């Protein structure tokens, strides 16, 4: 086929309207399983404190004579343990010119509203990564920002580390976990930590939180309650969402924002985000032809009793 002589084509035409969709496709993940699963509470000071306690070990020699007089000797009472965490400030900012807000745009109305909504999601992702991180608490100063102690710097009692690795030296958020040689995630490692949690806690964990690669590894473990329960549907299930072990069941949850070298055994009832200032959108002073916003939160991680959770650390990630 040939083009006619003098035929007018789109390549030469002026005034053809653009074809730009009114949908903006953003596939960046926003799931924050740790923040979503744990509790929320209020902080009243920049150093947020709480108390922990434990029962004495069972005494198999607890037997006494009939009619025995207690006399003046009584068992000593044990004091609670007082611990705390520093609040940390996280923020995002937006500055949009008046002209950009006024012009007609594809996929959104006011640019300010669109950017604020996006920054809220980004702030939530930042908070998830911070709360799960291996970072110790610091009060900060006029030249150094305060820092909260993250999940990895709390869990010390129920710990499995690679060669050279170790749990935090203290259970007050002031010490970091020491990374060791990475090794493959195995069901035996998981069972060891689950058994340790059982020995050291009266409550069972409810969530195994891990990165993408080791979530796929966990799907090969034998205790796959999901696959066994759904086998009669005729579908092939290649993943495990619930792991069944000797002392209960635990859901398996992937987390994109934690360190992928760690597998966290979490009792979500024993953790909370404590807000001194919940997430808020502040209008900044108008000093010119722009709308300025600040999204800010001041918060910390409340570790109600770290002995109810555990970690399989130093895992390979590929």
Digit-coded pLDDT (tens) for 214-230: 999 999 888 655 554 55
Q: Quick check: 77 and 96 in contact, CB under 8 A?
A: no
List pLDDT tens digits, range 235-286.
Answer: 545 566 889 898 999 999 999 999 999 999 999 999 999 999 999 999 999 9
More confident site: 79 or 202:
79
Q: Quick check: 296 and 91 in contact, CB under 8 A?
A: yes
CB atoms < 10 A from the CB of 129, how many?
17
Nearest Cα residue to 243 out of 231, 232, 252: 252
Tokens of 19: 């074809």
List pLDDT tens digits, range 141-158.
Answer: 999 999 999 999 999 999
State the pLDDT at residue 240.
65
């Amino acid at each position: 086929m040939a083009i006619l002589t003098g035929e007018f084509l789109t390549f030469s035409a002026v005034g053809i309207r653009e074809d730009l969709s009114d949908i903006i496709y953003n596939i960046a993940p926003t799931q924050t399983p740790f923040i979503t699963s744990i509790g929320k509470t209020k902080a009243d000071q920049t150093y947020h404190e709480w108390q922990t306690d434990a029962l004495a070990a069972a005494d198999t020699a607890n037997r006494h004579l009939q009619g025995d007089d207690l006399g003046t000797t009584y068992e000593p009472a044990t004091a609670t343990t007082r611990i705390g965490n520093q609040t940390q400030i996280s923020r995002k900012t937006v500055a949009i010119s008046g002209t950009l807000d006024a012009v007609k745009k594809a996929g959104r109305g006011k640019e300010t509203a669109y950017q604020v909504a996006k920054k809220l999601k980004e702030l939530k992702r930042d908070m998830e990564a911070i709360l799960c991180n291996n970072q110790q608490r610091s009060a900060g100063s006029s030249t150094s920002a305060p820092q909260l102690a993250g999940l990895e710097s709390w869990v010390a009692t129920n710990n499995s580390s690679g060669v050279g690795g170790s749990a935090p030296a203290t259970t007050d958020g002031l010490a970091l976990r020491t990374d060791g040689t990475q090794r493959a995630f195995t069901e035996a490692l998981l069972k060891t930590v689950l058994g340790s949690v059982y020995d050291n806690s009266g409550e069972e964990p409810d969530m195994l939180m891990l990165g993408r690669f080791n979530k796929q590894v966990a799907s090969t473990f034998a205790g796959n309650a999901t696959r066994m329960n759904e086998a009669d549907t005729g579908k092939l299930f290649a993943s495990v969402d619930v792991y069944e072990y000797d002392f209960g069941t635990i859901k398996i949850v992937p987390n994109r924002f934690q360190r992928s070298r760690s597998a966290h055994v979490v009792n979500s009832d024993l953790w909370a985000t404590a807000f001194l200032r919940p997430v808020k959108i502040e209008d900044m002073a108008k000093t010119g032809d722009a709308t300025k916003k600040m999204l800010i939160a001041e918060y910390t991680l409340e570790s109600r009793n770290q002995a109810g959770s555990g970690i399989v650390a130093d895992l390979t990630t590929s």
